[in-house]
Structure 1
Amino acid sequence: MNIGALEEHYKLELVPLYDREEAKSLFSLAAEQVLLLSPNKLMMQKDTEISFINEQKLLSILNDLQIGKPIQHILEEAHFYGLVFKVNEHVLIPRPETEELVDWIISVCSSQLTAKEFKILDIGTGSGCIPITLKKHLPNAGLSTLDVSSEAIAVAKQNAQRIGAEIDFITADVLTFQSKEKFDVIVSNPPYIRDLEKKEMHDNVLLHEPHLALFVNDDNPLIFYKAIADFAKTNLKSNGHLFFEINEYLGKETVEMLKDKEFIDIELRKDMQGKDRMIKAGI
């Protein structure tokens, strides 16, 4: 079978789960890893025959896709802000909206880094995509990151070592975590999806990504935001910043919560899709 025929096979077989363009993109990601071909070269070599071994590898990936397994988990990697991160079932797959949050933090902090010690705390490590990316782009900052999941911490440590980022890892529950350390920036992308929103989600998320990192009870959806905000009130330095990725449906409620806790200069931002997705606040 040649490349073009197998790409068409992907499109036909994945119709129940993905549209044709999504299926084409999934084939491109799979073929890039298996055949070591960039998307551009893939387009130019559609008549090239695939070896039996590589054909079987690509068909095996297709089988996993058909049962809803995310391509990032199949390939065990995800791209984020120009870096490649190892991912598995213990961590969330990095999302484009989180890249926008990281970009915002970098733009704010780049002008504030001085000779003094500048410290950033990320809460909710996951794959480590936020703290590792920040460390790569703000090398003079000290980065710490916290997660309740030891499995997630293990994945993030591997990513930090492979990418080359010095990070201080803390295994703890943010709902009870205390520290005397002061930070210039605290950032978090905590669990924020309410149970009532599960019906809107794709099965490849519901069945294959860690619910611990995704969901909160309908009756207290801001539980982690409140806890992190309380921690920030005590542990942010003067003129420090708190950054959140948020539930698109709870922007107003999150802003009001921060106002009630007397944060200042609160800014709610939309992502590229026009959804309320991130907040910056000061003390």
Structure 2
Amino acid sequence: MDDKGTLIYQDKDAHAITSAPICLKNIALKLFPEYPSQYVLDLGTGCGIIAITLAMERPSWKIEGLDILPHMIELATHNAELCSLNIKFQLANLCTFTTETPYSLIISNPPWQPLGTGKISPHPAKNISRFELMCSMPEILSFLERNLTSEGNALLLYPDFRIPELQTLIYKTSLDIFDLIPCPGIDKHFICHIRYKGTKK
């Protein structure tokens, strides 16, 4: 269940839901009111918890989810249907994906564990969601550049030890870190609010 008691089914062999997606959802709700409506992407949607809980609290927003694992897209679609929500979940590789219509808000709890560190799980889905196996930090920033509107926003969750690397990499892009927001309930993690350089506050 999420923090509102919504029943969300998970894959037992995938990374279990933590407080991270709820933190991301709550910060998005705090930063962006119901109107003007947002066109939102839940990047690396997994079971769909961020997309679904956002859709329940921001019914005017158009929300989509994207994931590289077919069975997670099926699970997220099933969860949305159980909640009577019309959310489009797309199967795609973020390293090559480009949307036809740019998003005004992209939210993600990306894999943040560098390769060669940490304990590998026997379950591939857990490793993909935790380790930078299928995407790297530069590839996520490139995704944002390709898929955000000119005044769009992105919210990415990273542990504090990855922030200096993010700051170095983002300097070489058209993006900028607008704010670093401590994630309530998750020690030493920050939500990185990212926008294009020169975007008005």
Counterpart residue number, 1:86: 9
Is 1:96 aligned to residue 16 of structure 2?
no
Counterpart residue number, 2:199: none
3-state secondary structure, aligned to 1:84: coil
Give the whole-Å Cα distance in 2 for the aligned partners of 1:212 and 1:150: 13
Matching residue's letter, 2:28: I
**TM-score scaled by length of structure 1:** 0.62
Give the whole-Å Cα distance in 1 for the aligned partners of 2:51 and 2:171: 27
Counterpart residue number, 1:263: 175
Counterpart residue number, 1:278: 191
| Cα shift at 1:106 | 1.1
Contact 2:38 2:61 in 1 (8 A): yes
3-state secondary structure, aligned to 1:156: helix
| Cα shift at 1:276 | 2.7
The one of 236, 239, 243 equivalent to 2:148 is 236
| Cα shift at 1:273 | 4.1
Counterpart residue number, 2:108: 188
3-state secondary structure, aligned to 1:246: strand
3-state secondary structure, aligned to 1:104: helix
Q: Which ranges of structure 2 fall in alignment gaps of 5 or more residues?
A: 197-201
Give matches, 1:43-192, under 5 Å. Answer: 79-82=1-4, 83-110=6-33, 113-114=35-36, 118-192=38-112
In terms of mean alpha carbon deviation, does 187-196 or 132-141 score higher? 187-196
Give the whole-Å Cα distance in 2 for the aligned partners of 1:250 and 1:257: 11
Contact 1:131 1:145 in 2 (8 A): yes
Output one character per residue of 1:205-233: Cα deviation in whole Å (capped at 9) or x when no partner. x355621222126xxx9x43322322222
Contact 1:92 1:213 in 2 (8 A): yes
Counterpart residue number, 1:247: 159
**TM-score scaled by length of structure 2:** 0.85
Q: Flag the 1:273–1:211 CA change in 2: closer, same or farther, 3 A.
A: closer
| Cα shift at 1:105 | 0.8
3-state secondary structure, aligned to 2:167: helix
Contact 1:267 1:279 in 2 (8 A): yes
% same residue: 21
Contact 1:81 1:133 in 2 (8 A): no
Q: Which has the higher helix share?
A: 1
Give the whole-Å Cα distance in 2 for the aligned partners of 1:278 and 1:190: 11
3-state secondary structure, aligned to 1:161: helix
Runs of 4+, deviation exceeding 4 Å = none
Matching residue's letter, 2:9: K
| Cα shift at 1:185 | 0.2
Q: How many residue pairs end up in the alignment?
A: 193
Counterpart residue number, 1:215: 131
| Cα shift at 1:244 | 0.6
Give the whole-Å Cα distance in 1 for the aligned partners of 2:2 and 2:189: 21
